[in-house]
Amino acid sequence: MSARLPIIVVGGGIAGLVTAIAAAPTPVLLLQRSPQSASRLAQGGIAAAVAANDSAQAHAHDTAVAGSFHNDAAIVDLLTRGAASAIHWLETLGVVFDRDADGNLQLAREGGHGQSRIVHAGGDATGARVMDALLAEARRSGHVTRWSSVEVDGLMLRGDHVCGVCLTREDGSREALHGRAVVIATGGIGGLFAQTSNPAEADGSGLALALTVAATMRDLEFVQFHPTALALPGRHSLPLVTEALRGAGARLLDSHGVPLMARVHPMEDLAPRDVVARRVWQAGRQGGAWLDARGIGSDFQRRFPTVFEMCMSHGIDPRQQPIPVTAAAHFHMGGIAVDADGCTSMPGLYAVGEVACNGVHGANRLASNSLLEGIVFGRRLGMRLRSLPDIIPGSGNFRLVRRGPALTTARLTQLRELLMAAMGPVRRRAVLREASQECLALAKEGWQGGVACALIEAALRRTHNLGAHHWEDAEMPGQGASLRQFA
């Protein structure tokens, strides 16, 4: 890295990497815990209205319907209009998307989408293929320096400007670093729940950093649960059984073999995720839920190699038997409040990807919109940061604000169970209030407790049902935000 002051990007998933690449030629120091990320696990693909009979407006409409019209319409527009060029950009970086015999992009269909528009690579290995290409580009471009095995656990301030980070290495050594800006791209919060599709490291640490400097948060109560994680009792991080299987005709069944989604929603198995997750959650309490993908037959292994291998490694042959599934914490719609360019309420601090909330997902994310979010808004942010001067922002003395200690393993397990019961697909006031008290106690012991308190407070403040936030004991009927903004 040159001696010039870098932009510091915390997180090496799709959002952090794209931001870093797009900031060229400004030097970037990218800090990450490990090369693992949720981005690498993404199976379904990237939503993009690239078919001749599709449009960015139709994609925006589906995004808003899934989000219960709680979305920011202008931001949704940026996302869906930017999708085709995002796919083209990835192709220029070497991503080979799956095509049919005529050379057209193969488009899969997923829940909530009015038509087939999910672009994928390597069958169900889209996240890995995209991440490999981005990493290769970051290495080629020369302006990005990556440090792995570091934990960013504090921010540096000068006046009210964020101007650096503090980090701890695996050997326990600590360092404080200056940057011309700090970008938080630390991903989601699934790791704070007892069952998740996320890696355990997706634990809301970026939210904790932002909370230490009192950055504004938005929509923290909206947590999406994936309806079809592989049910492996006792396991925390569960492999995902991709929704694209339902797009290919697989059906959810209850313990009696009765279709779960019949008469629940007009789109049945392809209903929005919150609707399906609640049904699977309820079935889980009444004997279990299964995904019957036997109809895909002998083509299964070729079309869904990742799911096939994962099922077989757990003794389940999906060509011969239904797959046991459960709802698992999957995606956080809320996060650090940002504008379209990733600016937070704190000068010098930016956020992008799942940890950020610019309003694009509303109250529930449409499937396969989040890799797209990382690309579209990562590129916008990177380009904005290019023009930052080579100086430490702010004036006055420097001070470090640390996140504080982490919970012990036993306490973290307790917190995960607590959040799963209180902040799951179906919520109850009494349970949430009790959890709030327990979390206040946990917050004194570790930073994860503080994040959990913020989530619970946000959920208690939203008194009506909206999108992924669902009260079993709702005080008022569900109400969406104005439909007029999307008219």
Ligand X SMILES: Cc1cc2nc3c(=O)[nH]c(=O)nc-3n(C[C@H](O)[C@H](O)[C@H](O)COP(=O)(O)OP(=O)(O)OC[C@H]3O[C@@H](n4cnc5c(N)ncnc54)[C@H](O)[C@@H]3O)c2cc1C
**Residues recognised as catalytic:** 273
CA 375 to CA 212: how far, in whole Å? 27
What minimum distance in Å lies between the beta carbon of 194 and ligand X? 15
What minimum distance in Å lies between the beta carbon of 55 and ligand X? 20
Among 274, 281, 229, 233, residue whose Cα is nearest residue 254: 281
CA 474 to CA 30: how far, in whole Å? 44
Q: With respect to ligand X, which residue has the nearer C-beta, 448 or 465?
A: 448
* Residues within the interface to ligand X (CB under 6 A): 10-16, 31-34, 37-39, 41-46, 126-127, 150-152, 185-187, 197-198, 201-202, 205-206, 240, 331, 353-355, 368-371, 374
Length of the chain, please? 487
What minimum distance in Å lies between the beta carbon of 207 and ligand X? 10
Q: With respect to ligand X, which residue has the nearer C-beta, 125 or 443?
A: 125
CA 375 to CA 47: how far, in whole Å? 12
Q: With respect to ligand X, which residue has the nearer C-beta, 118 or 252?
A: 118
Q: With respect to ligand X, which residue has the nearer C-beta, 329 or 435?
A: 329
Contact 113/106 with Cβ under 8 angstroms? no
Nearest residue relative to ligand X (C-beta): 13
What minimum distance in Å lies between the beta carbon of 187 and ligand X? 2
Contact 353/374 with Cβ under 8 angstroms? yes
DSSP labels, 81-118: HTHHHHHHHHHHTT----B-TTSPBPEE--TT-SS--E
* Residues in contact with 14: Cβ distance below 8 Å, sequence separation at least 6, in sequence order: 37, 39, 127, 130, 131, 134, 353, 371, 374, 375, 378
CA 148 to CA 52: how far, in whole Å? 43
The number of beta carbons lying within 10 Å of the beta carbon of residue 295 is: 12
Q: With respect to ligand X, which residue has the nearer C-beta, 16 or 324?
A: 16
Q: With respect to ligand X, which residue has the nearer C-beta, 183 or 481?
A: 183
What minimum distance in Å lies between the beta carbon of 45 and ligand X? 5
Contact 72/358 with Cβ under 8 angstroms? yes
Among 268, 189, 186, residue whose Cα is nearest residue 227: 268
What minimum distance in Å lies between the beta carbon of 256 and ligand X? 29
